[in-house]
């Protein structure tokens, strides 16, 4: 595995490449071209410039999170072919620039969903949290407004204000899309892009729906092992794989995280590893990466990744806000650095125990 950190670019991230470079064992970043909109064909010079900026700090671009999917593709509108064509050209350029892992998601309207961005934990840190009853009683158009006061002034990916202003229009556009249609549209997209992935050895890593169930009545399909299997079998190609995000699949306590990892051997192309705390059915909050701070056994998760021979990029995921840091919720420096160090420690112990 390669330990990485997500980086939002020098224009908007409070965390610098220099700081990331100083986290022991972190050799790469996961980033994207932040001036592009879903559906745009990326510019090769811009990809080169991004790579050069990262390389100048002694790090490398280990993968892209995300090349976002235009709504026309997810909905299955006639204009999807043009957007798929653009996506293919983007993948081609990434491949030519030696970037071989692309994370994306296939969630309608909302990317990840949380009801609080700064819930206070017993130790005084603040974390992202989810309370089902709040979602059930909330008009989806007010979702963004209800949390926007807690973003610390950062635009959070997936929650861009321009997109949130269009919530009503987006709901209308998705009104005829059910799970079956979404699966069919995903299949159409994957079939179209696999040839370019084969040509340039690009691993596509679909991100799970977070939380791993339907919100606001919208269809959500990347939620559990049987649906992932269906996705992999409908376009059976080793480049059609997943981002194993413990914090997203783990929102549903029925998902056996280490068991899922083992079942996905060969198809886990990227790992987001973090812990969360289940309080009671329908309420969870994010926790420190340490097993003892939340509900997951982080050792078992790392051990499962080791056992399947995982060799892709991995990153600590949402961190708590600690030590008075002011940053994008979930994406400060301090707690993610602690997370990276802890995951590296688990990995070293697993590697050495297995070498004996």
The pairing of beta strand 268-273 with beta strand 313-316: parallel
Which residues, in sequence order, are CB contacts of 178 under 8 Å at separation 6+? Answer: 219
Q: Report the chain's C-alpha Rg in angstroms.
A: 19
Closer to ligand DNO by Cβ: residue 255 or 350: 255
Closer to ligand DNO by Cβ: residue 1 or 350: 1
Touching ligand DNO, residues 324-343 (CB under 6 A): 330
Using CA atoms, how far apart are residues 170 and 151, in angstroms rounded to an integer? 23
Query: To the nearest whole angstrom, how small is the minimum distance from the Cβ of residue 193 to ligand DNO?
Result: 15
Q: Smallest Cα–Cα separation from 271: which of 329, 321, 346?
A: 346
Binding residue for ligand DNO (CB under 6 A) from 7, 42, 87, 104?
A: 104
Touching ligand DNO, residues 47-76 (CB under 6 A): 65-66
Query: To the nearest whole angstrom, how small is the minimum distance from the Cβ of residue 176 to ligand DNO?
Result: 23
Closer to ligand DNO by Cβ: residue 91 or 103: 103
Using CA atoms, how far apart are residues 135 and 347, in angstroms rounded to an integer? 37
In the block, residue with structure tokens 């970043």: 29
Out of 70, 100, 207, 289, which one is annotated catalytic? 207
Regarding 91 and contact with ligand DNO (CB under 6 A), the answer is: no
The pairing of beta strand 276-280 with beta strand 268-273: unpaired
Query: To the nearest whole angstrom, how small is the minimum distance from the Cβ of residue 232 to ligand DNO?
Result: 18
Out of 70, 210, 245, 269, which one is annotated catalytic? 245
Beta-bridge mates of residue 101: 203
Q: Smallest Cα–Cα separation from 23: which of 6, 38, 41?
A: 6
Catalytic residue flag (residue 331): yes
- What is the CA 355 to chain-centroid distance, rounded? 32
Regarding 249 and contact with ligand DNO (CB under 6 A), the answer is: no
Regarding 112 and contact with ligand DNO (CB under 6 A), the answer is: yes
Q: List, by residue number, the catalytic residues.
A: 207, 245, 272, 317-318, 331
Residues near ligand DNO, by CB under 6 A: 65-66, 103-105, 111-112, 157-158, 207, 330
């Amino acid at each position: 595995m390669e330990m990485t950190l997500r980086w939002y670019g020098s224009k908007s991230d409070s965390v610098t490449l220099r700081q990331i470079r100083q986290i022991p064992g972190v050799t790469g970043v996961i980033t994207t071209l932040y001036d592009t909109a879903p559906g745009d064909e990326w510019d090769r010079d811009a990809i080169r410039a991004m790579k050069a900026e990262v390389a100048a700090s002694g790090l490398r671009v280990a993968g892209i999170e995300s090349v976002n999917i235009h709504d026309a593709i997810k909905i299955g509108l006639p204009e999807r072919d043009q957007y798929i064509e653009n996506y293919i050209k983007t993948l081609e350029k990434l491949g030519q620039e030696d970037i071989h892992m692309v994370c994306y998601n296939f969630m309608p309207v909302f990317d990840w969903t949380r009801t609080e961005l700064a819930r206070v934990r017993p130790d005084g840190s603040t974390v992202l949290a989810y309370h089902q009853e709040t979602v059930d009683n909330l008009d989806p158009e007010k979702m963004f407004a209800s949390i926007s006061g807690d973003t610390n002034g950062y635009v959070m990916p997936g929650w861009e204000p321009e997109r949130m202003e269009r919530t009503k229009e987006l709901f209308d556009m998705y009104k005829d899309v059910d799970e079956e249609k979404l699966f069919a549209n995903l299949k159409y997209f994957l079939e179209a892009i696999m040839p370019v992935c084969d040509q340039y050895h690009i691993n596509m890593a679909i991100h799970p729906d977070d939380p791993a169930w339907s919100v606001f009545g919208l269809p959500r399909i990347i939620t559990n092992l049987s649906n992932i299997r269906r996705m992999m079998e409908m376009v059976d190609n080793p480049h059609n794989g997943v981002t194993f995000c413990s914090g997203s699949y783990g929102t549903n306590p029925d998902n056996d995280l280490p068991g899922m990892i083992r079942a996905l051997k060969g198809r886990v192309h990227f790992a987001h590893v973090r812990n969360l705390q289940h309080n009671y059915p329908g309420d969870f909050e994010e926790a420190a990466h340490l097993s003892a701070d939340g509900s997951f056994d982080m050792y078992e998760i790392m051990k499962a990744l080791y056992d399947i021979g995982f060799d892709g990029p991995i990153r600590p995921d949402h961190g708590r806000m600690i030590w008075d840091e002011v940053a994008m919720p979930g994406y400060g420096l301090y707690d993610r650095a602690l997370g990276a160090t802890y995951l590296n420690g688990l990995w070293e112990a697993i590697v050495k125990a297995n070498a004996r």
